[in-house]
Amino acid sequence: MWRRTPAVDGASGTGSVRRGWWLVFLLLSVGCASLQLPAIDPSGRSILLPAPNYTTVVGHDVDPVTGQQRSPLLDQLLHRNRGPAFTSPPAVPDCQVPAQLPNQAAATVPELPADPVAPRVLVPGVCEDPMLAAHNANTGCLGHSRSPSNPQAVVTLMPKQQIAAVGSEIILLGGVCGGDGYYRMREPLEWAIAKGSVGHFVEPGQAMVGRLGLRGALGGWLAEPLPELLSNNYAVGCTSKKAQVLTRGTVQTNDDVIVESGQAWIGVTSPIEGDTYVTLMAPDLDGWEQRTEQAVIHWVDGQWSLPPAAVVQGITPHTLTTQVVRRITGSPISGWLVRYRILDATATFEDGSSQKEVMTDSEGRANVQIMPALAQGGMARVQVQVIRPARGTTDQLLVGEGTTAVTWTTSQLKIDITGPESLDLQQDGNYLIEVSNPGGLALQNVTVRAMVPNGFQLIGTAPTAQAFGSRLDWTIDSLGAGERREFRVTYRATQSGVVRHIVSALAPSSQAVEDTLTTQVTVDALYIEMWGPDPELEVPVGREINYTVTIRNRGDRPLDNVVISDRFDSGLEHVSGGSPIDWQLGPMQPGQERTVGLTFRVVAPGRQCHTLEATATGAPPAQVGRCVTGVENSNPPPRIDDNAGSPSDVDRRRSRLEVQITGPQQMIEGGEPGNFFITVRNQGDAPAVNVSLQTEYDNELEPRAADPRPVVPQRNRVEWYVSQIEPGGQESFQVRCEALYGNVSSSCVRASVQSADGDRATDEYCIPILPADGAAGRTSPEPNDRTLPRTVPRGADPLPGSQFDTFGTSQQRDRQLEPIRQDQRGLDVTIDSRGDRWKVGDEVDYLIVIRNNRNVSDNDVVLTVELPPQLKLVTYTGPVRAAPGTLDWRTFRMTPIQTLRPGESIEFGVRCRVSRPGDLTARVEVRSMRTPTGVVRDDVTVASP
């Protein structure tokens, strides 16, 4: 309850009457037109009520023209004429609306306050603490006449409508807004609650009584009367002279009520549900419509809890629950309406709508299910409104509202595998596995799994995977929301056919996902290699040319009925007859190869060619062709007849070959390899053409590397071809050997050189092989029982009818001999990016130049470009296009260049875009008929973010 200054009980009897008559006399003597008399106590406990309770007798009025107080008796005596009752007033400006209305509802439903607490009155100011006195318009002030009524003034009352919980207290603010747009002070006000309403007044405002407490005692005498609660539904007061701040005794300021100067306030409460209709009247205002104002308070016995914000894992539906209970008893309320409205398009209710109204059940709950509209989830805001149903003449009431949110976090895994869709047999393929988490929550303990396909051999992984048989596993401790990880796998295709790659990812809190990729492994099972004279070489008519042919089964399945057939021009002659010639090789197992020798005689000048083709059942054919140029022999063989002169008449210009082997003085079993050097010289006075050099090694010595690259590298034999050695010229060769057995007194290297015109020479070089330190040495196998070759390349089987004899036994090649040094005079390639540092988004232009440094032409020149993963191909330029079937544009091969003339160079351009930072290593490789091992060059730069 509001604090009030205690009042002193009034005296009874003669003293009271005597004082009353003195008061009447005093008032009449000063000419006041109104009179206040002590009010009679209706309870019977005393005769008169204590101050400030009075009975007012009105004996005067106000002159509407002059605005002065006057006496009716004086008016009659002076015969004054009254003017018009009202004049036309100007428009009345609105009074200033306070910054915060009393009991103003927040944007969200506030927690209902506890039991009402009487507000405290705070008077602004530092030093003064004045009492806010009420103005009684019916009382004169010691001879001063009161002001006339202003017809432009109106009564204001706020709030006009309010919803409140039962048991709480509502503050109403009232005032008189004058014609000047400001509240009028010391205006009398009367508060009343209509009959039939619930609730009652609590306090009709409160004013300070001063430091000495005299204002309360003088109320109604020399000072303003105090506000007074005459009954539970009726109170009187006046507008204040000073501003006030009403608080509930809390530290928060949002529940304070600001009372402006010129306003009055009153508190209203109700313990039961219903409506309270309050009327405010200003009795000094003349206009009936201006001096009253009404307000209504709807009391609600209920409190509610809105659904809290929720985070849902997955995309499952979520239930929103609003509960409504009685505020006083806490029992549930059924039949109230709760309206849900989804504010975002990321979710719907179970029936697909975005708005739904639900009645509270017997437990006071209103449930509704909401589900995401997107597969990846998301966040949806939901507006919740609590509505009390209509009662009697009262419509539905929106008693509370708020907003909640539901967030779905999918935390789902995603996995993708990319790589080449086609590979050649024995070709390596790089595959990229990408694992990502497009959800909103991190995933823990993610396992990435890849199965090594049948027919594929694992070459490497990055990062390193754990291998369990044919299964590869990677573990990710934590995969954050939106994070992506990469895993790389390199396989080698070892079997032809269609291969299906399967990768998967799984985590305890997410469903397992997988992805697949199909790769077609193709193979040209039959493969032919042919070595022989330089195609640009001019061969005199009548001379023989020798070729070594290797047929290989590169497939993964056996080949049946392998047949080779050679078709040659009429300018070439074979001893077996005319073109074509055939040879049945029979079945060939995977990886098996056969080497044969082929000899032709040039019988006509001009360009002479032949084509060798290999066929097998169920395999596409393979073929290779070579050509030579026949010229008329300027030095025909001598003819001797009866008229021939002495031998000096015969032209004896010939080539004369010599071969010499040098090497280490001795070797040690299992020690450092030894280098053997073979030098072939032409000591004659004519060029040596179609020179073949064969070297043979005892079983204790094994060739490991050779330079230049031999055409026939085998376990115990290495062979080279030289197109021509000019008179006085020489060619050098080198072979690096390893000693396999020790305790051998003599192990030899033999060399045999032969030209097309039959000139030949041999040499032999033998050294001892010592056992390893402290070892007796291994037993050497039986010494070789071989003879030096004559004209057939080592290991080659002659075709039927060929004049070549078999040189030893045909053996399978054990390994490809490594080149000892790069032939700087041969094919070369360069790559230049024209820069060393790049940024993401830059375009890099690579210039690739291929040059033939030989003095003879080269054929079948093939360029292969390999780009780093940080680059994406934009375009390329060059004399030829990329080979058909190039799908992975990080590694692509150009179609072969048929002929590259001596000293000729060609250029390619490759433009790429940097997609992510890192080291950029672009690699090019060029191969040709004369450089089958290839030349590799790299360009290394750096890309920054």
Judged by average pLDDT, the poorest of 139-148, 306-315, 455-464, 569-578 is 139-148
Q: Compute CA distances 909 → 294, 848, 850, 865, 876, whole Å.
A: 90, 6, 12, 11, 5
Residue 137 reports pLDDT greater than 60: no
Over residues 294-309, the mean pLDDT reads 91
Query: For 303-409, which CATH class?
Result: mainly beta
User: What are 46-90's pLDDT values in tens digits?
Assistant: 677 666 666 665 444 445 444 444 544 444 444 444 445 445 555
Please give the single-letter amino acid code of residue 95.
C
| Average pLDDT estimate for 224-229 | 78
**CA–CA dist 660, 732 (Å, integer):** 10
Query: Using only C-alpha atoms, what is the Rg of the chain?
Result: 58
Q: Which CATH class is domain 94-300?
A: mainly beta
Q: Are 926 and 827 in contact (CB under 8 A)?
A: yes
CATH number for the region 526-631 comes to: 2.60.40.10
pLDDT at 6: 35
According to the model, what pLDDT value does residue 222 have? 53
Q: Which CATH class is domain 827-944?
A: mainly beta
Three-state secondary-structure class, residue 19: helix
Opening angle at CA 848, ends 845 and 849, nearest 5: 145
pLDDT for the residue numbered 770 = 87
pLDDT attached to residue 417: 94
Residues 744-764 as b/e (b if ≥16 CB within 10 A, e otherwise) read beebbbbbbbbbbbebbbbbe
At residue 205, does pLDDT exceed 90?
A: no
**For range 453-474, the mean pLDDT:** 90
93 or 613, which is more confident: 613
Instruction: Tell me: pLDDT of 730 over 50.
Output: yes
- Name the fold adopted by 654-819: Immunoglobulin-like (2.60.40)
Is the link from the previous residue into 710 a cis peptide, with omega within 30 of 0? Answer: no
What pLDDT shows up at residue 874? 86
Residue 754: pLDDT band by 50, 70, 90 thresholds?
Answer: confident
Q: Calculate the alpha carbon distances from 297 to 102, 398, 611 in Å.
A: 13, 13, 110
Same fold, 303-409 and 526-631: yes
Above 80 in pLDDT, residue 434? Answer: yes
Cis preceding linkage at 159, omega within 30? yes
∠ Cα 339 344 348 (to 5°) = 65
Pick the CATH number of 414-502 from 2.60.40.420, 2.120.10.30, 2.60.40.290, 3.40.720.10: 2.60.40.290
Q: Which of 118, 98, 95, 102 is nearest to 162 (CA)?
A: 102
pLDDT above 70: percentage of residues in the chain: 73
Higher pLDDT, 556 or 343: 343
SS3 for 241-268 is CCCEEEECCCCCCCCCEEECCCEEEEEE
CA distance 932 to 528: 13
In this model, does residue 206 exceed pLDDT 70?
no
pLDDT digits (tens, 9 = 90+) for 330-372: 899 999 999 999 999 889 998 889 999 999 999 999 999 999 8
Q: How many Å apart are CA 238 and CA 243, to the nearest integer? A: 13
Q: Report pLDDT for 86.
A: 46
Average pLDDT over residues 533-562: 81
- 3-class SS of residue 648: helix
3-state secondary structure of 452: coil
What pLDDT was estimated at residue 848? 92
pLDDT of amino acid 473: 93
| Average pLDDT for 615-624 | 84
Find the mean pLDDT for residues 261-288.
89
List the chain domain ranges: 94-300, 303-409, 414-502, 526-631, 654-819, 827-944
923: closest CA among 904, 902, 907, 938?
Answer: 938
The pLDDT-based confidence of 135 (bands split at 50, 70, 90) is very low
Strand 263-269, strand 169-177: pairing:
antiparallel
Give the pLDDT confidence score for residue 593 in this predicted structure.
83
Decide if pLDDT at 118 tops 80: no
Please give the mean pLDDT across all residues of the chain.
76
**310-330 average pLDDT score:** 87
| CA 807 – CA 788 distance, rounded (Å) | 8
**Res 571 pLDDT > 60:** yes
Q: What is the pLDDT of residue 404?
A: 95
Q: What is the pLDDT of residues 382-394, one digit of tens each?
A: 999 999 888 777 7
Report the length, in residues, of the chain: 945
Going by pLDDT thresholds of 50, 70 and 90, the confidence category of residue 714 is low
Q: Is 286 helix (H, G, I), strand (E, B) or coil?
A: coil
